[in-house]
A and B are shown apart, each in its own frame.
Chain A
Amino acid sequence: MSEFLELTVDKFTFRFATDRYYHPEGVWARPEGDGRVRIGLSDFAQQSGGDVAFAEVKPVGTVVAFGEEVASIETMKTDIVVPAPVSGTVAEVNPALEMTPEVISEDPYGEGWLAVIAATDWEADRAHLMDAQAYLERVREVAEEEMRKK
């Protein structure tokens, strides 16, 4: 079971699973051994969208570089272009996304995972990712900036 940090800004609460790493644009990456890295959207990223209508992940076999688009999430308000938090080859795509894409909103850290990537160099990519606490601080900055604009 994952543990979570929480951040509340205004009337929104965001959760951060502590057992994984985060790309600054809100994609989490959790290594599972054998070079396999599972990825998904952070709670903050999925909340910034809206109800998920379609989630399109690049098919199994696609080679992606760190930062390159690996998925596109069409929500009611925005298209979230998901950058790969690790370089490698798409090994698995969450089959639940086609029929029940809302699982991304309901359980972004669990059943709402997007893909598993066979990483080419996890250690090198991990150096560019943040842990849960660092990502939480970044989200706090971004969220408070948006509050100030209102």
Chain B
Amino acid sequence: MTEVYDVAILGAGPGGYVAALRAAQLGMRVALVEEARVGGTCLNVGCIPTKALVTATDLLARARRAAEYGVRIPEAAPDLEGMMAYQRAAVERLVGGVEQLLKEWKVTVVRGRGRLVRPDALAVADGAGGTTEVVVRHIILAPGSVMARPPIPGLDLPGVVTSTEALDVSTLPAHLIVIGGGVIGLEFACIYQALGSRVTVLEMMPNLLPGAADEAIAKRLAVVLRRRGMDIRTGATVQAVEEAEGGLRVRFTTAKGEEAVEGDRVLLATGRWPNTADLGLEEVGIRMNRRAIAVDEYLRTNVPNVWAIGDAVGGMMLAHKAMVDGRVAVENIAGQKRAVDYRSVPSAIFTSPEVAGVGLTEEQARQQGADVRVLQFPFSANPRAQILGETEGLVRIVCEAGSGRVLGVHMMGPHVTELIAEGALAVQTGATADDLAWTTHAHPTLTEAVLEAALGFQGATIHYHRKT
């Protein structure tokens, strides 16, 4: 059976389904090919379920401090089955919501595993031996990413899990060892610690969140997590996972030599790879950039009318980046000529405390030869943070020394995943520190920490003093 569409999209994750909806808004006939569930990794086993767990564990932590606020909550404790039900309900609600949107916009969802067979056709195997061919003018490849599997012996041992299995908190390990101190590893480390597991994090690079956060913030986060009892080892290269009495042993090397740690569950969180194997890409002549699909700044592949977006093209592997990619590719298909602009893609890390950032880090700005000033303000001096009782954290604004143009904003602290939006706007619009300083920020809010940091450009920070 063949049908003709204007655009077919391979993969219904955040990149794919947003592209599908945008294309439908522009009047195109859209086929959206998906072998599992719409929403992809993000909705089903990524962003959404993890944030549900973070919400639950944050509430648990706050409830345990209730007496500080004059509220009596006798024995705040996790109800693991209840937490799983809550997590599943959040996922179902959102998946259902996306399905509904696709129906309203008359997007044809073709269920099955798709492959590129020609520059103008996808073949979709329905799993029961049948194949549908979808013939199109334009194809958008949005197959997403998969967990990276480094060549470490022992990863197949029982008790070694990836993030998907780690979402199941119905049984807790006494000691969780996390291989990888990046975003995924640390979010789970915080979740499990809040639920009562002892946690050790092993990160190969000298700092946590390598490539994902400003170095000063990453160092500060390590200090805060260690003070909360997490065992964090940086500069630790894992050599093997082995069976040990009572569980698993992870052997690693540091500057001090060979070391090992034992626990009963190991979470492998060493990153994600583009999901580009076995999709017919090489056969159709799509140029690759190692595992990623090679694209230009308009998200075109080397094959005319074949586009690629999201995690599959590498770069920042974030759902919101995939969504923007989807919108860019579709608008280009519709005749616009829009290049991607990733300068203001924020990162939002739901550790406890949260970390967020946008634009250049201090190191990146200096490497690019900019004359850099860094303006800083601690949440300990912010009234709203003091009222909340969450004062560990700070705002750092990286700006050009002369003009004060904001090159990057980096934060750690309460709700910074929300606060970063102001930083993204500043970077996107070329705002200066003075623009931020003369924009009135409501009192008493956490946003005033951005204001006060920006005031530092003129040496005018009011509620904190940096003595030189």
B72 interface residue per 8 A CB criterion:
no
A76 to B465, CA, bound (A): 10
B227 interface residue per 8 A CB criterion:
yes
Binding site for B on A (CB under 8 A): 48, 53-54, 56, 74, 76-81, 98-99
- A54 touching B220, Cβ below 8 Å: yes
- A53 touching B392, Cβ below 8 Å: yes
- B219 touching A56, Cβ below 8 Å: yes
B467 interface residue per 8 A CB criterion:
yes
- A76 touching B226, Cβ below 8 Å: no
A60 to B467, CA, bound (A): 24
B394 cross-chain contacts in A, Cβ below 8 A: 74
A98 cross-chain contacts in B, Cβ below 8 A: 223, 226-227
Contact with B381, one of A48, A54, A76, A81 (Cβ below 8 angstroms): A76
Q: List CB contacts (< 8 Å) of B414-468 with chain A.
A: 464-468
B234 interface residue per 8 A CB criterion:
no
Closest to B392 in A: A53
A77 to B394, CA, bound (A): 14
Residue of A76, A77, A79, A99 most packed against chain B (CB within 10 A): A79
| Closest-CB distance, B393 to chain A (whole angstroms) | 10
B378 cross-chain contacts in A, Cβ below 8 A: 53, 74, 79
The number of A-B residue pairs with CB atoms under 8 Å apart is 37
| Closest-CB distance, A64 to chain B (whole angstroms) | 15
Inter-chain pairs besides A56-B216, A74-B380, 14 sampled, C-beta below 8 Å: A48-B467, A53-B378, A53-B392, A54-B223, A56-B219, A74-B378, A77-B381, A77-B464, A78-B464, A78-B465, A78-B467, A98-B227, A99-B223, A99-B227
B351 interface residue per 8 A CB criterion:
no
Q: List 9 A-B contacts (CB under 8 A).
A: A48-B467, A53-B380, A53-B391, A54-B220, A78-B465, A78-B466, A79-B467, A81-B468, A98-B227
Closest to A69 in B: B468
| Closest-CB distance, B195 to chain A (whole angstroms) | 23
Main secondary structure of the interface of A (DSSP, over half): strand
B376 cross-chain contacts in A, Cβ below 8 A: 79
Contact A79:B464 (CB < 8 A) given known A53-B392, A98-B226, A99-B227: yes
Q: List CB contacts (< 8 Å) of B122-181 with chain A.
A: none
A127 to B219, CA, bound (A): 36
- B466 touching A79, Cβ below 8 Å: yes
- A79 touching B465, Cβ below 8 Å: yes
| Closest-CB distance, A20 to chain B (whole angstroms) | 21
Closest to A79 in B: B466
A79 cross-chain contacts in B, Cβ below 8 A: 376, 378, 464-467
B223 cross-chain contacts in A, Cβ below 8 A: 54, 98-99
A99 cross-chain contacts in B, Cβ below 8 A: 223, 226-227
A77 to B386, CA, bound (A): 13
A54 to B465, CA, bound (A): 15
Residue of B227, B380, B391, B392 most packed against chain A (CB within 10 A): B380
A142 to B55, CA, bound (A): 50
A73 to B394, CA, bound (A): 13
| Closest-CB distance, B64 to chain A (whole angstroms) | 22
A76 to B376, CA, bound (A): 14
